[in-house]
Structures are given as C-alpha cells and as structure tokens.
Amino acid sequence: MTPAIPPVLVLSTGRCGSTMISDLLRLHPAILSISEFFSAFQMSLFGRRRPSGDDMWRLYSVQSRRTRLALREPFRELLYPFGAPGARYSRNTVPPIMPITLPHLTDRYYELYEELEPIVRGQPRQSPADHYRAHFSWLKERLDRRVWVERSGGSLLIAPLVLRNFPEARVVHVYRDGRDTAVSLSGHPAFRGLLAKARVIRKWGIDPVDSMPLLQRFNRLGYWLDNLTDRFIDIDHLPYDEVTLTDFAAFWSRLIQIGHRTFGGFPPDRLLNLKFEDVQADPERELERLIRFISPEFENEAWLRKAAAIPRPTTSSRFDLLDTAKQAAVTEACRPGLELLGYPV
C-alpha cells in the first residue's frame, strides 16, 4: 500500500498570488486543490469540541454573518455564477462552501454538493479536524486525487489555529512585496470589510489582529468572542471610509509576523517559501520547486509546461503611482514584514 502523502497548507496574507498557485495546482492530475475552505469559516472552523455530522453540515450549508459580509460585493475569486440562468442561489442564500470551494473542484458543483451532504452528516461525533480529514479524504477518492492542498486568502491570520489542528501538514508560504500587496488589499471588498470590522472592535479596546494568536490557543474562547462581536456589529454600517492604505500596510506586516512566529522555524522538508516575484520571473523553476516539495513523485512535464505558461511578469506597480508621502507611509507600515522577508526598504 502506497503511504499517504502529508497534506499541504498554502498560507498567505492574501492578494499575493496565492489564488494563482491554487489555480495552477488544480491543473495537476494528482492534487486535490481546495480553495478558500478555511477562510470561509475562520474561527468557526474549530469552535465545537466534538461536533456531529449534522453540526458540520450546518457549518457548510447555512450562511453566517461573516459569509454575508464577505459577499456584500462581487470580487474576481468568486466562481459561483450568481445571476446566471439556472443559478440556484443568490449572494444572500448561497451555502458558504459554494461561492468558491466546490466550483474550484469541479464544474458539476451541484452534484458534488448533493453527494457531500450524506458523507458529512454521516460522520460520528469527533474533533473538527477529524471531520475535515474525513471530508477531504472522501473528496480525494471521489475526484481521483492523491493529496489535498488547501489555500485560503489571508490564511496567515489563522495559521496558529490551523497548524495546531493539522500538525501533520506542511506549509507553502506564498508572499509578495508588502507595498504592492497593501495596495491590492485596499481594493478588495472582503479585506475592506475585514479591516472596517477590525476598526470597530479596536474601539472596544481589543486589537483583533494582535490578539488572534492568543485566542487561537483556546478554540472555544476565540469562537465565542468571534460570534459575540458578529452579534453586536452592524455589518451594514461599517466604517469603510475610515480605513486607510496605511492600515492595510500595517495589517500585511502583522500577518507576516504571525506567520514568522508560527512556522518560521520549520525545517526545509516542512516549509517552502514561495516568492510571487520569483514565480513571475521564472515560473518553471519555482513551480518545479513547489511540486517537488509536495512530492517528488508528482513531477509531471506536461503539467509543468502548461502551468509555467500561465504566470506573467507584472508590467507596472500601483504602489509606484502613489505620491511620495503615501509611498513613505506605506513603506514604514510595512517595514517589519519587509525586513523579515528580505525585501529592500
């Protein structure tokens, strides 16, 4: 019997090329590329100690306030065809697992959703992580894949929580110059909503980003506080206009610091650092490194040629279009993360 290949988590700040990596891995015949699964649930991922199968299906199928906030505006990563003829769901009714995760796996996502329900609901009471292992294993078998790789934008925010629950997982850290990333984050509806919500919470005397690693040591406490804040925050009247580009830069830097503290000391066989600019400059070399890290037996010339033809160098930087004062402020807010990653400041 062939030994199981350890799963892989692609962790990132978001808006740094991780979606592209997930799309390229989806082309590989041996890899179950799971996109935006963990980000759809955040602290709710491990909120119950031993949930039933029915509990898990409610998580997958019933919208939370977080889902509604994330879907308030359309964005490019959404794969579900909202508004198309025959679409079953609107943004107000779509199950959390449907906007990105299932359509990323197959174009027959309605069928997969219906098949998945009895599998999920039939599981016994067990830890959330064991539920996810069972569900991902079923998806691997159903779609004839050999290893699962999960990628979620902004996943560095919950990296301590996910890695504590999946100690067997290896990490691909995808990153990009924080100055360009901050500009991209500021234009993304989901991240604008996240930082506007964080601004409200800070007025209560709690910094939701800095406190996140501590809260993640106690699954149920973090889950309880997360739901409590959702109950008292009016997501229809968030202070979007108060969030500045410098806020996004500082957010990026703090996520990089969380990642460094969480997995920066991992050995090379458990951590692969993947720089977005390097993937653009030499995609064949970097994607070969990526696939060897996942498993050398997955080296595939046909996949490599097809995947390496997709990344393209960026011809311009929106950061360079900022005035000198804004560039200086963003650079200073990014400084701790830039220094950790070795970017010139």
pLDDT tens digit sequence for 31-89: 999 999 999 888 788 888 899 999 999 999 999 877 887 898 889 899 999 999 999 99
User: Which of these ranges, 145-149, 151-155, 191-195, 209-213, has the smallest mean pLDDT?
Assistant: 209-213
What average pLDDT does this structure show over 224-230?
Answer: 68
- On the question of pLDDT at 222 being above 70, the answer is no
Q: How many domains does the chain have?
A: 1
State how far the Cα of 261 lies from the Cα of 264, in Å rounded to an integer: 6
Task: Show the domain range for 250.
Answer: 8-341
Is 1 a member of any domain?
Answer: no
Is 279 a member of any domain?
Answer: yes
Is 153 a member of any domain?
Answer: yes
- Give the C-alpha distances (Å, rounded to integers) separating 74 from 71, 99, 183, 320: 6, 11, 18, 27
Joined together, the tokens standing for residue 58 give 């409610």
Is 87 a member of any domain?
Answer: yes
CATH of the domain at 184: 3.40.50
Joined together, the tokens standing for residue 330 give 């963003």
Is 62 a member of any domain?
Answer: yes
Is 3 a member of any domain?
Answer: no
pTM summary value: 0.95
pLDDT of residue 339: 98
pLDDT of residue 35: 98
If residue 10 lies in a helix (H) or strand (E), which one and from where to where?
strand 8-11
What is the per-residue DSSP string for 165-188?
A: H-TT-EEEEEE--HHHHHHHHHT-
What average pLDDT does this structure show over 111-129?
Answer: 98
Q: Each residue of 247-265: pLDDT tens digit?
A: 999 999 999 999 999 999 9
Is 2 a member of any domain?
Answer: no
Q: Give me the helices (H) in 233-282, please.
A: 245-263, 276-281
Contacts of 315 (CB under 8 A, 6+ apart): none
State how far the Cα of 88 lies from the Cα of 252, in Å rounded to an integer: 36
Share of the chain above pLDDT 70, in %: 95
